[in-house]
Amino acid sequence: MTNREIEQAVSSVYEKYVRSGNSHKQLINIMQSEGIKYKKVPSENTGFVGALTRGVNGQYYIMVNSSVDNLGRENFTIAHELGHYFLRHQLQSGFIYCSENDISEETEAGITIEREANHFASSFLMPEQKIKSAFLAMLRNSKKIKTKDFLYVKNDFSFGIWCGVRDSLMKRYGVSEAALRYRLRYLNLAKFEFQKDTK
Q: Which residues bind Zn ion (CB under 5 A)?
A: 98, 102, 114, 117
Which residue's CB atom is positioned nearest to Zn ion? 98
What is the per-residue burial (b if ≥16 Cβ within 10 Å, else e) of 106-142? Answer: eeebeeebbbbbbbbbbbbbbbeeebbeebeebbeeb
**What dihedral do alpha carbons 157, 158, 163, 168 form, nearest 10°?**
130
Smallest distance from Zn ion to CB 82, Å? 10
Which CB, 27 or 98, lies closer to Zn ion? 98
Q: What is the spatial distance between Cα 131 and Cα 95, in angstroms, rounded to a whole number?
A: 33
Smallest distance from Zn ion to CB 2, Å? 18
Q: What is the spatial distance between Cα 196 and Cα 39, in angstroms, rounded to a whole number?
A: 36
Smallest distance from Zn ion to CB 11, Å? 21
Which CB, 74 or 102, lies closer to Zn ion? 102
Query: What is the number of alpha carbons within 13 Å of residue 149 lying toward its C-beta?
Result: 2
Which CB, 77 or 158, lies closer to Zn ion? 77
Smallest distance from Zn ion to CB 119, Å? 11
Which CB, 70 or 99, lies closer to Zn ion? 99
Smallest distance from Zn ion to CB 102, Å? 5
- Span between the terminal Cα atoms of the chain, in Å: 33
| Burial (Cβ within 10 Å: 0-12, 13-18, ≥19) of residue 26 | middle
